[in-house]
Structure 1
Amino acid sequence: MISTVIFDMNGVITDDEDLHELATQKAFEKVGLEITPEIYRQYCLGRTDAAAFVDLVRDFQLQKQEVGSLIADKTNSYQALIADNLKVYPGVIELIERLHQKYTLALTTSSTFEEVQTVVGQLQLENLFKVIVSSKDVKRGKPDPEPYILTAQKLGVACENCAVIEDSENGVRSAVAAGMKCIAIPNTEKRGKLTRAHFIIDEYSELTDHLIQSLG
């Protein structure tokens, strides 16, 4: 039986993948690398900045650049961008508030701790998530199952009693590998990339209690 619902943040709650991409472009522009949409999707979508930036520095021969400095630049740019531009997907806040009445909720994201704090504070969601896991809490980000396994451990629940809402292929792979049920919504990926999920929805109004319990 599903007792816990875990949300991803970027691409599930916040419609801000474009801002993450722009902030990443700004950070790497300073060191002479153009982050094209194709490069961003290949390296960054659904992954932690730490993992993505390490691969970018290696593959584009930027060895003289410090990953920590690039992440700090990106985070600063992102926080400046969302100050006046933070958007959420239609119906998602209402969904969180509705599910909170019946389920334990958690947030598991590849974003940095600073980014999460800014978003959660701006949307006033602090009291709705019992546990928040960000990139600083894990050694291996999505698609590795560590983020979701750690979330379950912090909550004290079994992975099989958790349902995850994800939007990216890497996120779906992470949740499924952790032994959780996964509901995907193609906000940032095409449906064909999300076929590992147990169920795919197109709108948050489809995510009913009946659907969640049918996964258990």
Structure 2
Amino acid sequence: MPLEAIVFDLDGVLIDSEPVWEEVRRGYVASHGGRWLPDTQQRLMGMSTVEWARYIATDLVDGVTAEEVAYAVIDEMSQRYAAGPPLLPGAEDAVHRLAAYRPLGLASSSPRALIDLVLGQLGVDGLFRATLSTEEVDAGKPAPDGYLAVAGQMEVPPEDCVAIEDSSNGLRSAHAAGMTVVAIPREAHPPSDDALALAAHVAKDLDELTPALLTAL
């Protein structure tokens, strides 16, 4: 099949935000007398806003609503990003390089407010034909909903898209949508072996993403 579009994840692919998310959500749980479990961070990765806020309010903290959790955490994340998001090396160049080659989409578990904030601060918002937060679909990653919705917005069959992902749930989501997946694992939160096996290519960094590589896949 021809390559018609490239769909990026945001957190862990273009920005090194997973440590910030963990610090902010862990801090929220601690400040409300909650309990952070050994598998909490891995479970949260890929969840939509509704899903992670409900999980924290139900399983980790007593006496708060999911709406209160989401508002407090997203507000703190916005403040952390105000001085500039934690951009990963090669992110801006990769976006510009690939946008000149094929239409770009973005499917992120971040809330819409943070997606727009980050892309606007980087000055690349105009390079994406479609962007989507999984809070705008029925289910977050590893469900394929977000990737399928972005492909639909771009009017491109998902099987003609390459997705760029880093996490286990993200890899599973893009693969379930029928996309060819390129993994760029993050050392701090590496994907599981079974999820990584779903990738057509494992790249060491964003600089490795070239039109020639993606076309060959």
TM-score by length of 2: 0.91
CA offset digits 1:14-69 (Å, max 9, x no partner): 11211111221233234321436x3442321222232123233333473x321011
Write the distance in 2 (CA, Å) between the matches of 1:160 and 1:81: 36
Q: 1:143 touches 1:171 (CA, 8 Å); kept in 2?
A: yes
3-state secondary structure, aligned to 2:83: helix
Write the distance in 1 (CA, Å) between the matches of 2:147 and 2:191: 23
Residue equivalent to 1:14: 15
- Which residue identity does 1:50 align to in structure 2? V
Q: 2:8 touches 2:106 (CA, 8 Å); kept in 1?
A: yes
Unaligned 5+ runs, structure 2: none
Taking the TM superposition and a 5 Å limit, the aligned residue runs for 1:33-44 are 33-35=34-36, 38-44=38-44
Question: Alpha-carbon deviation of 1:194?
Answer: 1.9
Taking the TM superposition and a 5 Å limit, the aligned residue runs for 1:1-216 are 1-35=2-36, 38-60=38-60, 62=62, 64-84=63-83, 86-187=85-186, 188-190=189-191, 192=193, 193-215=195-217
Q: 1:166 touches 1:183 (CA, 8 Å); kept in 2?
A: yes
3-state secondary structure, aligned to 1:32: coil
Write the distance in 2 (CA, Å) between the matches of 1:141 and 1:110: 7
Q: 1:19 touches 1:82 (CA, 8 Å); kept in 2?
A: no
TM-score by length of 1: 0.91
Question: Alpha-carbon deviation of 1:203?
Answer: 1.7
- Which residue identity does 1:109 align to in structure 2? S
Question: Alpha-carbon deviation of 1:108?
Answer: 0.7
Q: What is the number of equivalent residue pairs in this alignment?
A: 213
Question: Alpha-carbon deviation of 1:191?
Answer: 6.8
Q: 1:110 touches 1:141 (CA, 8 Å); kept in 2?
A: yes
Write the distance in 2 (CA, Å) between the matches of 1:97 and 1:124: 10
Q: 2:107 touches 2:132 (CA, 8 Å); kept in 1?
A: yes
3-state secondary structure, aligned to 1:13: coil
Q: 1:26 touches 1:77 (CA, 8 Å); kept in 2?
A: no
Aligned CA RMSD, in angstroms, stands at: 1.8
Unaligned 5+ runs, structure 1: none
Q: 2:181 touches 2:200 (CA, 8 Å); kept in 1?
A: yes
Write the distance in 2 (CA, Å) between the matches of 1:133 and 1:57: 25
Q: 1:14 touches 1:86 (CA, 8 Å); kept in 2?
A: yes
Write the distance in 2 (CA, Å) between the matches of 1:176 and 1:80: 33
Q: Which moved more, 1:83-92 or 1:184-193?
A: 184-193
- Which residue identity does 2:204 align to in structure 1? D
Question: Alpha-carbon deviation of 1:190?
Answer: 4.7
